[in-house]
Amino acid sequence: MSKTLVRIENWNRKDHFNFFSKFDEPFFGITVTVDCTLAYKKAKENNTSFFLYYLYRALEAANQIENFKYRIIDDKVYLFDTINASPTINRPDNTFGFSFINYNKDEVSFIADAKKVIKKVQESTSLFPEEEDKINVIHFSALPWLNFTSMSHARNYKYPDSCPKISFGKIMTTDNTKTMSVSIHAHHGLVDGYHVGLFVDKFQALLNK
């Protein structure tokens, strides 16, 4: 979990960080629609879980954007070398558990590790199968039952949180084109709409490869 302290006094986001960090709710959220026609086709051809297929690409995109790798610890900003995934995992009894999946540049290895984590969570009854609280993550969730156009998250304002939250919706098919809603929430002291736009562009490009 290698990280570098950001010298706020010399940071071009100094004023933004100081301003938004005083907010009771410093997170902002945007919902977009991505084209997943080709990605869905390739996942099925490779007999790969579409959830893991797009999760890997979302994490790959986020790791290419510096602002998505900033985190606040004890009122200080750190830049992490690598950001991992903390997705919610659905269980057969319609509950879910939180999980932790390490990012791996090798997609095959990432998916293999993810399958092990998913199995562990699905066989557990705990909301937190992973005891360690990690901050170098993005909180992911999938809502494959809903084609949403906006989203809000349950938040404990007393608990310091600077991890982006990305949620994926139901796959919709129109005229042989498959689309999926994606909600991105981020701490405005660290991330602006510009950076969310970069993420969406990179994510879409990776879905199209």
Neighbouring C-beta atoms of residue 161, cutoff 10 Å:
16
Radius of gyration of the chain, Cα coordinates, nearest whole angstrom? 17
Q: Give the predicted TM-score (pTM) of the model.
A: 0.96
The domains of the chain are located at 3-208
- The answer to whether the CB of 61 falls within 8 A of the CB of 207 is no
| Structure confidence by residue, pLDDT tens digits, 123-166 | 999 998 766 668 999 999 999 999 999 999 998 888 889 999 99
| Alpha-carbon span 146 to 6, nearest angstrom | 39
Identify which of 54, 32, 51 has the alpha carbon closest to the alpha carbon of residue 201: 32
Can you tell me the distance from the alpha carbon of 154 to that of 158, in angstroms, rounded to the nearest whole number?
12
Question: What would the mean pLDDT of 49-65 be, rounded to a whole number?
Answer: 98
pLDDT per residue as tens digits for the range 58-116: 999 999 999 999 999 999 999 999 999 999 999 999 999 999 999 999 999 999 999 99
Q: Is the pLDDT of residue 1 over 80?
A: no
**Which pLDDT does position 169 carry in this prediction?**
98
- Cβ-in-10-Å burial (0-12, 13-18, 19+) of 58 comes to buried
The whole-number pLDDT of residue 64 equals 98
Contact 29, 101 (CB under 8 A): no
pLDDT value of residue 153: 94
Name 180's Cβ contacts closer than 8 Å, sequence gap at least 6.
33, 34, 36, 54, 168, 169, 170, 171, 172
Q: What is the average pLDDT value for the chain, to the nearest integer?
A: 95
Task: Give the type of residue at 24.
Answer: D
Predicted local distance difference test score (pLDDT) of residue 131: 60
Percent pLDDT > 70 in the chain is 98
Region 36-59: mean pLDDT is: 97
The number of angstroms, rounded, from the C-alpha of 196 to the middle of its chain's C-alpha atoms is: 12
Q: What is the pLDDT of residue 132?
A: 64
Stretch 37-43: mean pLDDT: 98
CATH class of domain segment(s) 3-208: alpha beta
